[in-house]
Chains A and B, each alone.
Chain A
Amino acid sequence: MDALHYDPMAMDGEPEQPQVKISAADSTRVDFELSRTNLPFANALRRIIQAEVPTIAIDLVEIEVNSSVLADEFIAHRLGLIPLDSKGVNELNYSRDCDCEQYCEQCSVSLTLHAKCTSDEIMKVYARDLVADGRHANSVGTPIITDPEGLGCLIAKLRKDQELKITCIAKKGIAKEHAKWMPTSAVGFEYDPHNKLHHLDMWFENNTDPEKEWPKSKYAQWEEPLQEGEPFDYDAVPNRFYFEVEASGTMEPDLIIQGGIRVLQQKIGGLLKGLDPRKYGGDDADMDGPRSPDMNMDGGTTPWQDGGYTTPYGNNTAYGGGNTAYGGGPYSQGSSWQ
């Protein structure tokens, strides 16, 4: 095994532990093979690194002056999509969990932008013009700039005497809420390059060569092709998964994967806690167990107490008053079955 082969569990003599083999890595992407695990686990990891690893992005925009040609909400949307350094994002709280009123330095980074064009030339406002408040020890929340000129993304263009004065509040969040919090730009995911499991159809026309019409993936060389006369193994399950993680720049790929594993652990932990609070402990230990939610959001009567006549919108009928021609409430009063 080469040096890249990372297998901390190997010493325990448990070969069934997942294995990772990294084939290429740099600051923005990593290609690796995840093996000795099953499809649900690999897919869970993929989904989480795409959508649930927290990063930081501009979420609130206070516009003081905007005399550019772009509309306020348009600039706000553009600002939201600017990648910000999310390395130290774990030190921040989610704004909704924070003790503060709206936002504070524990849960946000504020960035200011003030640009005014004074020359006849068109002025371009870039991400580098966003100034972080600097109240945080690490570089969290500073715009990511990777281009050789050191400019970052273009935000707007200003003509003479046009001005932008903006304060942005960047918050921690996940991509499930909004795509601006995505740590990755794309995650490649593949298994079974030779289609040994027959998960794919790989349709081709009768008179053509499927080998020509269906180009092989590069991972085809990593696995043994189907041997001549080899019987189809209908019990086989995929166990080697090829990931190609492309980072959006806010975090390095290893941090994304590690963050993803942590989120996955927390989710499993939360699930276990919910299923068996006595064993795993937690706040809800005294809860009676699962139940369906109350119909009335205000925690009032439960739906089974009023004979099913309460709608989530209250008990008024469309024609008002709750009184019908036949008496009081619908079939409730004045009749003999009570």
Chain B
Amino acid sequence: MAPSATSTEWDHQFHTLRRQDLFRNPPTDHSAYPALQLAVNPHIESFNAIFRGDGKPGLLAHGLADIGTKVFLDGNDRAGPEGKNRLQIRIKEVTLQKPQVPPSNKLALNREIFPAECRERHATYRGKLSATFEYSINGGDVVEFTRELGQVPIMIKSNRCHLENNSPALLVSRKEESEELGGYFIVNGNEKIIRLLQVNKRNFPMAINRPSFTNRGAGYTTYGIILRSVRPDETSQTNVLHYLKDGNVTFRFSWRKNEYLIPVIMILKALVETNDREIFEGLIGPMGSKAAQNTFLTDRVELLLRTYKAYRLYSKSETRAYLGQKFRVVLGVPETMSDYEVGTEFLRKIVCVHLGNVDVTEKQDLDKFHMVLFMIRKLYALAAGECAVDNPDAIQNQEILLGGFLYSQILKERLDEFLSVSVRTAIRDYLRRHPAVSFTSEEFRKEFPGGIFRKSNENIANGLEYFLSTGNLVSASGLDLQQTAGFTVVAEKLNFLRFISHFRMVHRGAFFAQLKTTAVRKLLPESWGFMCPVHTPDGSPCGLLNHMTHKCKIMTDYVDVSNIPALVAELGAVETSSASTDESVVVMLDGKIIGWSTPKESLRIGDCLRYWKVEGSHNVPLQLEVGYVPPSNGGSYPGLYLTSTPSRMVRPVKYLPLQKEDYVGPHEQPYMSIAVVPQEIESGVSTHVEFDPTNMLSILANMTPFSDFNQSPRNMYQCQMGKQTMGTPGTAIRHRTDNKSYRIQTGQTPIVRAPLHNTYGFDNFPNGMNAVVAVISYTGYDMDDAMIINKSAHERGFGHGTVYKTKKITLKDDSRTRAAKSVVKMFGFAPHSYVSAAYQGMLDDDGLPHVGRMVKEDDVLCAWHTVTPDYNGNLVNLDGITHYEKYKDSEIGFIEEVRLIGAESGSEPLQTISIKIRIPRSPVIGDKFSSRHGQKGVLSQKWPMSLAGKAGALHGLAQDSTPFRFDEENTAADYFGHQLMKAGFNYHGNEPMYSGITGEELGADIYIGVVYYQRLRHMVNDKYQVRTTGPVVPTTGQPIKGRKRGGGIRVGEMERDALLAHGTAFLLQDRLLNCSDYTRSWICRRCGSFLSVQPTVSQFAPGKKKAPSMVRCRNCAVRLDDSEGIDLTEIQGEIWEDGQGNCWVGGDQTTQVVVPGALKFLDVELAAMGVKLKYRIDRTDEPRKGPMKPLKQISAAA
């Protein structure tokens, strides 16, 4: 067959047959929904960049170059480097294989491991990481060897995954969705994605005013310039310039989580051979320029240079040696390096690393010199108030840290750590044990790669698996990030909307979540077109967790800008500059100054470059960002900032002069005039126009029909609720083992939908039902936010859902100790053991459940027994006891699937099974439903709505619901009103209705329409919490917390206040005492103490059971042994005995009272601190002895 290529064009129509055909015959060429893949691509491409396939060095190759060569010395640790042998070692190459069955498995025929298998086995989808090392001794022959570094998780559909570029048909045969997107990892069966993070724009000096800067020391002001400088391997190093009150400037950086401050002149002098005049002119401009008259500037630069005189460092070599001497220990360089070399290494590793990171040339050092000068200039402008601060919360000054890049950074650091720590310790240990051995000896040569390397911890891969499964970053350097946890999230496949949203989600950083200020959460106008204004959760992550618009792309590679410096020079940029921005503004390409020009000219250069890039001429790439910042009175620091780097966002808009697609970035956008609709274009002002106003919305926000007619927060709610809907998680549910997954059985496609609904293939995963809805208040069940469902619709399956729960039962200990690896348990009934008839019926002969069986609470799910190897090595059961795993949920479920999970080696008996249980959930009163407009409600009654409903699609049409299609003259109500009239209905959709009870016509006109309803996953069955008695906290006697354990719901202070205000005292007592820590306790009336009472022990009592419950106060009693002077005949009252055989008399004024258990607890706690509590007990409560007497007499007796 050679059919035409699968069409990827979609409109808003139903396309029922086309979709059916796509389902039955998955395309063998490419997906019909390419937009979906585009949405996920930034994740995959960033992972692909680690190991590239196109011949260019990958990120890790760049990283290895940065790690460089390590040098180790033999001989005595304490002695100097003289006369020792040198071992030089470096990592030449790192490779990552596709996932495969380990060689220890001799049985597997198909050696490839596919993601579906990992999901089902609760395993990790990972491939073997190996590194080629290269070493030489004393600079001699280079020896190469390869080591395996463990297995690292691999991103699905990346270039290390078997699913890369698979056609839908092939994907289906590999047990995936036909539209499998990839972009996530599988770790222990869970799908994990690395969150996208907003970080500062790279290689751009940002002006910052931050109060915390003053904490750096005396004289420090709040002004600073932050430069996040990124190396070619995507690791970053932040350089900060601080402005001091006296005009001085210091350079700050962090290295391995410690901060260091250096006078900025020292950096400048170390970078190039220079003198004070050159620095002065570099900062201010040539003599005679306008800036030279700026005394604010000249005074400060003079002071800057003057104060530096104290160091007495003049030449480049002197300065570098000084820096080297100071930072030798910090950088951990080998002893063989000279101070000068260490200083060079310092500049290479820390200062403006984006301008030269490996084998830094003098030209690159000069670039760095110019960059630092520019930063100082901007800092002075900031301090003088000539330029405004750059907002680090605005997307204008941000970029996105991609998952793959972060992954590669961690990998690089692990490798660096491995080489400089693990290998170093291994060698040192070896030398200590063999003091006589030197690197040149034959013995060492034999031992080195094999024996010594084995000692070092080679398992780099485990760290990455830990990172992905917990999201915690364990790092010595901190990777220049502000958080150490929360990097990964589970990509929940609750429904498809939620799943796809995970990939478009951008987080501001966990650090900002704790911030008290709400400034970071603001919706800024800069975000237009890049971040969806609607799609952010309400509540604590509001504004921190954003979603990219559906057209926003993230660059994952550099675009080719080799031609740009020449073009800029041709257009009139010059090398000389002045500090006055009226005279000259910078032209910067990726943080490198490529020239200066007048402000007017920079605009012309920018416009030229833009024209060329859209035109595609002069080798200017389309995705180049031409950030023209115009000069202004105290606004942002002007300049022309060209950017070609990865990690930045771009989005398509139409360039008016050429009527062609242009890509704009967030840094340039604020200074451009982009019309939203063609009518808005202003001649001579607008340069661009949006392709569609809906481009500013995220995928989900675009799914809300006619969102422009909604109250704005409703759109936000819908974005949340769309993600909580019980929908269709996928078509390959059979091959998934999510802990919990929800599915709606009667899904439909919405009648009203946007064309994007089809473009993103949401009909493959229906999310709700078209329901005929009447808006009426009539029966009394129509309370706030509630709804009623037609009884017949309910009984015919409306909203019927299913919950799948997967339970993994493993007989192995999870601990990874070697002892736990042996087989001690096996599934099945123990031979010859007693099995009750009830259990036998529940399980098959193999001890596993039948598929399709109904399980209730406490039914058994599987049987197992212990085994020990006998003398033949056969595993036999000795004790004859069968153990069972039980089903613990209170809801009835059905066994859907039973999976037997074998060991990876293929040589172990069955140790792990996973059971999927299906729980049917038809809608019940209390379940939550919502329309697509943020209108949620709970089901309050199932009601036989007996009257004729409106036909759902009167014309059988799919309605386009794209927002911004109607306006005041041409309203939506009119458009659809006329459609309704055509079908013979009322213009407003109102209809006469008849009371179902009396048959009488209802006076009001009732609106009836068809609404797409979503069933939300919040169901009462998962929520209801009831208790009267139950488990309590042992110390206080109050109910425990938690629904799962049968705990209570707290009646807190506010609830208490409400009950008091209502005067419901008895209810209050019931809640706070009777249903809580009601305790009956003995107390002594005389001394008023709970703690001094004790039960008596009678020596004549026959047994423990019949002991009389007599309680006496020991405090008020008199011990007979002590009271020798007392006349025994005068003693009144009974003699009693305590447990130790002591006899006491008195203390009989005890009584029982009801108190909260917490009170007794408090009494005990206070007693422990030496505080005694005394309670006064009302005498009128005294128990009556004998016949009733008048009250007066009792009080007289007492």
Point out residues on A near B: beta carbons under 8 Å.
39-40, 42-44, 46-47, 50-51, 66, 71-74, 77, 81, 175-176, 178-180, 182, 186-192, 197, 199-203, 208, 212-215, 317-320, 324-325
Residue-wise, chain B 973-1005 has the 8 Å CB interface mask toward A (1 for contact) of 000000001001111101010101011111111
Q: Which among A43, A182, A199, A214 is the interface contact of B792 at CB below 8 angstroms? A: A182
Q: Which among B745, B947, B1080 is the interface contact of A74 at CB below 8 angstroms? A: B745
> CB distance A202 to B1005 under 8 Å?
yes
Q: When chains A and B are docked, how far (Å) is the Cα of A6 from the Cα of B745?
A: 48
Contact (A178, B795) CB under 8 Å given A189-B994, A319-B1075: yes
> CB distance B987 to A208 under 8 Å?
yes
Q: When chains A and B are docked, how far (Å) is the Cα of A317 from the Cα of B1075?
A: 9
> CB distance A179 to B792 under 8 Å?
yes
B995, chain A: closest CB distance, angstroms: 8
Contact (A189, B999) CB under 8 Å given A72-B894, A325-B1153: yes
Chain B contacts with A in 39-82, Cβ cutoff 8 A: none
User: Chain A residues near B797 (CB, 8 Å)?
Assistant: 77
Residue of A at shortest CB range from B24?
A122
Q: When chains A and B are docked, how far (Å) is the Cα of A199 from the Cα of B1005?
A: 10
23 contacts between A and B (CB under 8 A): A39-B1000, A43-B994, A44-B999, A46-B999, A66-B852, A71-B802, A71-B896, A71-B920, A73-B920, A77-B797, A81-B796, A178-B795, A179-B796, A200-B992, A200-B1002, A201-B1004, A203-B1005, A213-B981, A213-B986, A215-B985, A317-B1074, A325-B1080, A325-B1152
Residue of A at shortest CB range from B1181?
A326
> CB distance B1070 to A50 under 8 Å?
no
Q: Answer yes or no: B948 CB below 8 A from chain A CBs.
A: yes
Q: When chains A and B are docked, how far (Å) is the Cα of A21 from the Cα of B1000?
A: 21
> CB distance B986 to A199 under 8 Å?
no
> CB distance A214 to B1028 under 8 Å?
no
Question: Interface majority SS on A: helix, strand, loop or mixed?
Answer: mixed
Q: When chains A and B are docked, how far (Å) is the Cα of A188 from the Cα of B948?
A: 7
Q: When chains A and B are docked, how far (Å) is the Cα of A320 from the Cα of B987?
A: 64
Report the count of interface residues on B (CB-CB < 8 A). 44
Q: When chains A and B are docked, how far (Å) is the Cα of A269 from the Cα of B852?
A: 48
> CB distance B1074 to A318 under 8 Å?
yes
User: Chain B residues near A39 (CB, 8 Å)?
Assistant: 998-1000
Q: Answer yes or no: B791 CB below 8 A from chain A CBs.
A: yes
> CB distance A199 to B1000 under 8 Å?
yes
User: Chain B residues near A208 (CB, 8 Å)?
Assistant: 987
Q: When chains A and B are docked, how far (Å) is the Cα of A208 from the Cα of B973?
A: 14
Q: Which among A71, A199, A212, A319 is the interface contact of B1003 at CB below 8 angstroms? A: A199
User: Chain A residues near B984 (CB, 8 Å)?
Assistant: 215
Chain B contacts with A in 765-798, Cβ cutoff 8 A: 791-792, 795-797
User: Chain B residues near A187 (CB, 8 Å)?
Assistant: 946, 948
> CB distance B920 to A200 under 8 Å?
no
User: Chain A residues near B1075 (CB, 8 Å)?
Assistant: 318-319
Residue of A at shortest CB range from B1081?
A325
Q: A182-B792, A318-B1029 are in contact. List 9 more A-B contacts (CB 8 A).
A: A39-B998, A39-B1000, A44-B999, A50-B946, A66-B852, A189-B999, A203-B1005, A213-B988, A325-B1154
The 4 tightest CB contacts between A and B, nearest first, are: A43-B999, A199-B1001, A325-B1154, A179-B792
User: Chain A residues near B1005 (CB, 8 Å)?
Assistant: 200-203
User: Chain A residues near B528 (CB, 8 Å)?
Assistant: none
Q: When chains A and B are docked, how far (Å) is the Cα of A319 from the Cα of B1074?
A: 6
Q: When chains A and B are docked, how far (Å) is the Cα of A46 from the Cα of B998?
A: 10
Q: When chains A and B are docked, how far (Å) is the Cα of A117 from the Cα of B999?
A: 51
Residue of A at shortest CB range from B734?
A69
A318, chain B: closest CB distance, angstroms: 4
> CB distance B1001 to A320 under 8 Å?
no
User: Chain B residues near A203 (CB, 8 Å)?
Assistant: 988, 990, 1005
Q: When chains A and B are docked, how far (Å) is the Cα of A74 from the Cα of B988?
A: 39
User: Chain A residues near B1070 (CB, 8 Å)?
Assistant: 318
Q: When chains A and B are docked, how far (Å) is the Cα of A154 from the Cα of B854?
A: 26
B536, chain A: closest CB distance, angstroms: 38
> CB distance A215 to B792 under 8 Å?
no
Contact (A47, B1029) CB under 8 Å given A202-B1005, A215-B984: no
User: Chain A residues near B999 (CB, 8 Å)?
Assistant: 39-40, 42-44, 46-47, 189
> CB distance A214 to B1003 under 8 Å?
no
A279, chain B: closest CB distance, angstroms: 28
B1033, chain A: closest CB distance, angstroms: 16
A219, chain B: closest CB distance, angstroms: 12
Q: Answer yes or no: B944 CB below 8 A from chain A CBs.
A: yes
Q: When chains A and B are docked, how far (Å) is the Cα of A66 from the Cα of B947?
A: 38
A57, chain B: closest CB distance, angstroms: 11
User: Chain B residues near A199 (CB, 8 Å)?
Assistant: 1000-1003
User: Chain A residues near B1080 (CB, 8 Å)?
Assistant: 325
User: Chain A residues near B1002 (CB, 8 Å)?
Assistant: 199-200
Q: Which among B944, B987, B1152 is the interface contact of A51 at CB below 8 angstroms? A: B944
Residue of B at shortest CB range from A71?
B918
User: Chain A residues near B920 (CB, 8 Å)?
Assistant: 71, 73
Question: Interface majority SS on B: helix, strand, loop or mixed?
Answer: loop
User: Chain B residues near A190 (CB, 8 Å)?
Assistant: 994
Residue of B at shortest CB range from A192?
B1001
Contact (A201, B946) CB under 8 Å given A73-B920, A318-B1028: no
B310, chain A: closest CB distance, angstroms: 81
Q: Answer yes or no: B1078 CB below 8 A from chain A CBs.
A: yes
B332, chain A: closest CB distance, angstroms: 62
Residue-wise, chain B 1067-1083 has the 8 Å CB interface mask toward A (1 for contact) of 00010001100101000
Q: When chains A and B are docked, how far (Å) is the Cα of A42 from the Cα of B995?
A: 13
User: Chain A residues near B852 (CB, 8 Å)?
Assistant: 66, 72
User: Chain A residues near B1152 (CB, 8 Å)?
Assistant: 325
User: Chain A residues near B994 (CB, 8 Å)?
Assistant: 43, 189-190
User: Chain A residues near B985 (CB, 8 Å)?
Assistant: 215
Q: When chains A and B are docked, how far (Å) is the Cα of A71 from the Cα of B1000?
A: 43
Residue of B at shortest CB range from A46?
B999
User: Chain B residues near A320 (CB, 8 Å)?
Assistant: 1029
Q: When chains A and B are docked, how far (Å) is the Cα of A295 from the Cα of B54?
A: 83
A263, chain B: closest CB distance, angstroms: 16
A240, chain B: closest CB distance, angstroms: 13
User: Chain A residues near B896 (CB, 8 Å)?
Assistant: 71
Q: When chains A and B are docked, how far (Å) is the Cα of A254 from the Cα of B98?
A: 72
User: Chain B residues near A191 (CB, 8 Å)?
Assistant: 1001
Q: When chains A and B are docked, how far (Å) is the Cα of A193 from the Cα of B943?
A: 27
Q: When chains A and B are docked, how far (Å) is the Cα of A179 from the Cα of B798?
A: 12
Q: Which among A179, A186, A215 is the interface contact of B981 at CB below 8 angstroms? A: A215
Pick the most buried of B918, B944, B992, B999: most chain A CB atoms within 10 A of its CB: B999
Q: When chains A and B are docked, how far (Å) is the Cα of A146 from the Cα of B896?
A: 36
Residue of A at shortest CB range from B745?
A74
Residue of A at shortest CB range from B995?
A43
User: Chain A residues near B1001 (CB, 8 Å)?
Assistant: 191-192, 197, 199-200
User: Chain A residues near B998 (CB, 8 Å)?
Assistant: 39-40, 43
Residue of A at shortest CB range from B790?
A179
> CB distance B986 to A214 under 8 Å?
yes
Q: When chains A and B are docked, how far (Å) is the Cα of A258 from the Cα of B797?
A: 30
B1077, chain A: closest CB distance, angstroms: 10
Residue of A at shortest CB range from B949?
A186
Q: Which among B894, B987, B992, B1153 is the interface contact of A71 at CB below 8 angstroms? A: B894
User: Chain A residues near B1153 (CB, 8 Å)?
Assistant: 325
> CB distance A73 to B946 under 8 Å?
no
Chain B contacts with A in 1041-1090, Cβ cutoff 8 A: 1070, 1074-1075, 1078, 1080
Q: When chains A and B are docked, how far (Å) is the Cα of A86 from the Cα of B404?
A: 66
Q: When chains A and B are docked, how far (Å) is the Cα of A232 from the Cα of B759?
A: 58
User: Chain A residues near B1029 (CB, 8 Å)?
Assistant: 318-320
Q: When chains A and B are docked, how far (Å) is the Cα of A40 from the Cα of B994?
A: 12
Q: When chains A and B are docked, how far (Å) is the Cα of A182 from the Cα of B987?
A: 33
> CB distance B948 to A180 under 8 Å?
no
Chain B contacts with A in 1005-1053, Cβ cutoff 8 A: 1005, 1028-1029
Q: When chains A and B are docked, how far (Å) is the Cα of A182 from the Cα of B790?
A: 14
User: Chain B residues near A47 (CB, 8 Å)?
Assistant: 946, 996, 999
> CB distance B987 to A201 under 8 Å?
no
